[in-house]
Chain A
Amino acid sequence: MRGVLACVLGGLVIKSVVLRLALAAAVAIAASAASAQTLNTIKSRGGINCGSNGTLAGFGLPDSQGRWTGLDVDFCKALAAAIFNDPNKAKFVPLTAKDRFTALQSGEVDVLARNTTWTSSRDTSLGLNFTAINYFDGQGFIVRKALKVNSALELGDAAVCVQQGTTTELNLADYFRANKMKLKTVTFATSTEALKAYDAGRCDAYTTDASGLAGERLRLANVNDHIILPEVISKEPLGPAVRHGDDQWFDIVKWTHYAMVNAEEFGITQANVDDQKKSDNPDIKRLLGTEGKHGEALGLSDDWAYRIIKHVGNYGEAFERNVGQGSPLKIARGLNGLWNKGGLQFAPPVR
């Protein structure tokens, strides 16, 4: 008995080894899932697991009946529509900013569509690939009107509330350093807590992506006492990400976004998609699958894009419904307009 004890205790003494064991086991399982064919896994499971925000109006938020809405949510519904011809086959897993990459790496979710900024380090060292940019964003500040601040450059010495594990946290420090201003950050694990602390007067300013400010300011006690400053201090290209090592799944996710953008460009909408199917335009015929075998090459049926538009609509429709004029956020298209209308949304052709 004593020998066994000694052995076990010995194991405890080299505790880092034992601890590593448990974690390593988790990683070992996770990584083997990553190399499997994601599409087959999803089909046999009968649904997609989507890493979603869960607290951000306009991007991912369940309503009182548990129905999820948002631009990223619609993106996942589009994926489910393309694969299953049923947008309700998408299951949403709410993730905090801090946990989101681990959830994707470990295979808990198949795709991370959670207003996540594409950066070089995330793309290269986290074992992830960003697929496309479904929202061009930048970081902004909200302050109380009573402070009479007109520019972010006047925020020197201010206390700023921020969410942890975000590019926001780093941009904030960079911006203040670059402009030689003193900074006091108060960091919270969730945006909800950070915003609440700002509302309670703990901070002079709250910072997050401009789209997030538009949504989260609606949760402040008195919306009209606050003002969003004009400066946008960073580039925040937000887009869905997938794990390394499954190119087929990477293509499906990427082309789901492009299909929605192409549809808007060709004027195909949820309402007219059945009429458009009869169109003679070769671009539209290829996109909707009446000509060519473009879905098959993705591992999907040829009417994959038709299904997306039929169930979810084109990019412009999803935008207006969730963050644009059809939503309480009322964000203008701006950078997210089509390339031929002054924006940056540009999809490669289907051919």
Chain B
Amino acid sequence: MAAVETTRPKAPLIYNPKARGIAYQLLLCALILFLAWSAIHNAAENLARAKIATGFGFWDNTAGFDISQSLIEYSTTSSYGRAFWVGLINTLLVAALGVVFATLLGFLLGIARLSRNWLVARMAGFYVETIRNIPLLLQLLFWYNAVLKALPGIRESFVIPGGGFLNNRGLFLPQPVFGPAARFALIALLLGVVAAIVYRSWARRRQMATGQQAPVLWVTLGLVIALPLAVLALSGWPVTFSYPESGRFNIRGGIEVLPEFMALLFGLSIYTAAFIAEVVRAGILAVAKGQTEAAYSLGLRPGLALRLVVIPQSMRVIVPPLTSQYLNLTKNSTLAVAIGYPDLVQIFAGTVLNQTGQAVEVIVITMAVYLTISLVTSGLMNLYNRRMALVER
């Protein structure tokens, strides 16, 4: 055999399809890289010729402007870099809370739309069709103006029992301040969480083995909530509250929730929930009817059949489009700029860009950040999806 092969004339490399393919692709890669390089080079040169400042040196310069909401230390003397982090954290905050609320509301609505109760199903249908057919920007402006107009002025605040205020400047709540002894309660909380997880898995294994059920919910609540509270009480309540107080113009102290934040969170959650509801409905309908019927014939009540049989199977249909909705919500949070919520786009791609004039750098950073957030989100959802997906044996 070997003798036969050696006698065959060796074809030139150009006729080898594999080699040719590799060559073409190398060529394409080189072309793309060249285009990228020349564009960057051109831009840098043109910016320099127009005497427009370039580079990332602005990062450490003093920002000099104020930001209405900041979860980290920030003042007008902080740097542009600090302002970037403030904006990023504000974006992540509203996106994360928005995802949670939109998911809860969306699942509820999706299931309600399939309800056998005519009124419930129609109301859910009406919600979905109305909300998802109105542009989000209009909804945000509506919520913002509704929040501002509906809430009373600062002098006529609603007083929330326990020392809180609600007015058109925001929601003001007492802020708990923990004394040093509170760390015992924190330790108790952590222990409680660990114990609850262990208990749940024990209860599950026992149910699998013997069919006996354990009161999981009550024990979990007891471990996670009652235990730390008990420890707190034993250590003599080392918690004081810092109450919001009215100043000459504004309310100071305590926890402050801005109306811009509330409007954005409301708007994003309500809007995205309409889409999630449809995703959930599609997922549930995708589970074969026989599964439900089989569950009923085993004697499961409708609620249990939904929870134990239908939803787990529908998750593999729900998760991929759900990921898209999460990504949409995160990206839609950039509409914050319209209602004055200080998110990344408003602070960084807005004020910082304008004050420094370095559009190329600022926009590149902003785009890279949203790309990273989106890739991380979809990466996590893909991990979850892999766990949920049908395991074929």
In the complex with contacts A31-B49, A126-B52, A21-B249 CB distance below 8 A: no
B residues 226-253 touching A (CB-CB < 8 Å):
247-250, 252
In the complex with contacts A125-B52, A164-B351, A189-B346, A21-B68 CB distance below 8 A: no
- The segment out of B21-29, B99-107, B187-195, B381-389 that lies at the interface is B21-29
Would you call A200 and B169 a contact (CB within 8 A)? no
In the complex with contacts A21-B40, A102-B359, A187-B340, A7-B25 CB distance below 8 A: yes
A24 at the A/B interface (Cβ < 8 Å)?
A: yes
A112 at the A/B interface (Cβ < 8 Å)?
A: no
A202 at the A/B interface (Cβ < 8 Å)?
A: yes
> Count of chain A residues with Cβ under 8 Å from any Cβ of B?
68
Smallest CB–CB gap between B37 and chain A, Å?
9
A residues 5-48 touching B (CB-CB < 8 Å):
7-8, 10-11, 15-21, 23-25, 27-28, 30-32, 34-35
User: A15 — which chain B residues lie within 8 A by C-beta?
Assistant: 367-368, 371
In the complex with contacts A7-B32, A157-B248, A183-B39 CB distance below 8 A: no
B160 at the A/B interface (Cβ < 8 Å)?
A: no
B181 at the A/B interface (Cβ < 8 Å)?
A: no
Would you call B350 and A19 a contact (CB within 8 A)? no
Instruction: For B249, give its contact among A3, A122, A204, A243 (CB under 8 Å).
Output: A204
A284 at the A/B interface (Cβ < 8 Å)?
A: no
- Measured between alpha carbons, how far is A105 from B50 in the docked complex, in Å? 8
- Measured between alpha carbons, how far is A194 from B350 in the docked complex, in Å? 15
In the complex with contacts A21-B36, A185-B66, A27-B351 CB distance below 8 A: no
B139 at the A/B interface (Cβ < 8 Å)?
A: no
Would you call A28 and B168 a contact (CB within 8 A)? no
B115 at the A/B interface (Cβ < 8 Å)?
A: no
- The segment out of B145-153, B264-272, B296-304 that lies at the interface is B145-153
Most buried by B among A10, A125, A187, A244: A187
- Measured between alpha carbons, how far is A15 from B353 in the docked complex, in Å? 20
Would you call A11 and B36 a contact (CB within 8 A)? yes
User: B28 — which chain A residues lie within 8 A by C-beta?
Assistant: 4, 7
User: B260 — which chain A residues lie within 8 A by C-beta?
Assistant: 186
Would you call A32 and B25 a contact (CB within 8 A)? no
B357 at the A/B interface (Cβ < 8 Å)?
A: yes
User: B357 — which chain A residues lie within 8 A by C-beta?
Assistant: 101, 121-122, 125-127
Instruction: For A27, give its contact among B25, B43, B259, B371 (CB under 8 Å).
Output: B43
B338 at the A/B interface (Cβ < 8 Å)?
A: yes
- Measured between alpha carbons, how far is A351 from B65 in the docked complex, in Å? 45
A residues 196-215 touching B (CB-CB < 8 Å):
196-197, 200-202, 204
A220 at the A/B interface (Cβ < 8 Å)?
A: no
Instruction: For A202, give its contact among B49, B168, B350 (CB under 8 Å).
Output: B168
Would you call B250 and A25 a contact (CB within 8 A)? no
Cβ-closest 10 pairs across A and B: A31-B46, A24-B43, A165-B354, A3-B25, A127-B52, A125-B53, A127-B50, A126-B357, A173-B76, A24-B39
List A residues at the B interface (Cβ < 8 Å): 3-4, 7-8, 10-11, 15-21, 23-25, 27-28, 30-32, 34-35, 97-98, 101-102, 105, 121-122, 124-127, 147, 155-159, 164-166, 169-170, 172-174, 176-177, 183-189, 193-194, 196-197, 200-202, 204, 243-245
22 A-B pairs in the complex with CB atoms less than 8 angstroms apart:
A7-B25, A7-B29, A11-B32, A20-B36, A20-B360, A23-B360, A24-B43, A27-B47, A27-B360, A28-B43, A98-B350, A98-B353, A98-B354, A121-B357, A158-B250, A159-B249, A165-B355, A185-B68, A188-B340, A201-B168, A245-B49, A245-B50
Given contacts A27-B360, A28-B46, A186-B340, 6 further A-B contacts (CB under 8 A): A7-B25, A8-B32, A27-B42, A159-B250, A187-B67, A202-B148
